[in-house]
């Protein structure tokens, strides 16, 4: 039997990768994207110390402003909720008094 006969018999079923390879192939594409991103940025020169300090200073200021705005918003929300709570407590007190009066009227 010749090699050509063996090859001809194997051509009946198309070759495909095993299932284990198929499941891994989607996970390779994010790595490829990352490598492309890495390669794209590798041409940039490293930042100087002054530039890094300046960018860090800007980022810190942005973070502090965002944090301050968040705190201001939360303080406002807490104040609003405390006011609502106070109003509900007053309403509850009035309803309890009304309930007592009605129970007294029923018992007589």
Tell me how many domains the chain contains: 1
pTM score over 0.75: no
Domain residues for the domain of 75 are: 53-108
Q: How far apart are CA 90 and CA 39, in angstroms?
A: 66
Q: Is residue 88 part of a domain?
A: yes
Residue 103 forms part of a structural domain: yes
Mean pLDDT (the chain) is 79
Q: Is residue 21 part of a domain?
A: no
Number of CB atoms found within 10 A of residue 21's CB: 9
Query: Does 64 map to a domain?
Result: yes
100's torsion region: left (phi>0), alpha (psi -120 to 50) or beta?
Answer: alpha
* pLDDT for position 48: 92
Residue-wise pLDDT for 31-57, tens only, equals 555 555 555 556 778 889 999 999 999
What pLDDT score was predicted for residue 46? 87
């Amino acid at each position: 039997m010749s090699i050509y006969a063996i090859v001809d018999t194997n051509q009946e079923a198309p070759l495909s990768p095993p299932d284990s390879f198929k499941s891994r192939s989607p996970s390779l594409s994010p790595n490829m994207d990352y490598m492309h991103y890495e390669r794209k940025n590798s041409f940039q020169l490293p930042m100087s110390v002054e530039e890094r300090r300046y960018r860090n200073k800007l980022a810190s200021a942005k973070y502090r402003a965002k944090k301050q705005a968040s705190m201001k918003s939360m303080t406002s929300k807490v104040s609003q909720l405390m006011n609502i709570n106070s109003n509900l407590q007053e309403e509850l007190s009035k309803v309890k008094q009304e309930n007592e009066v009605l129970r007294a009227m029923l018992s007589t």
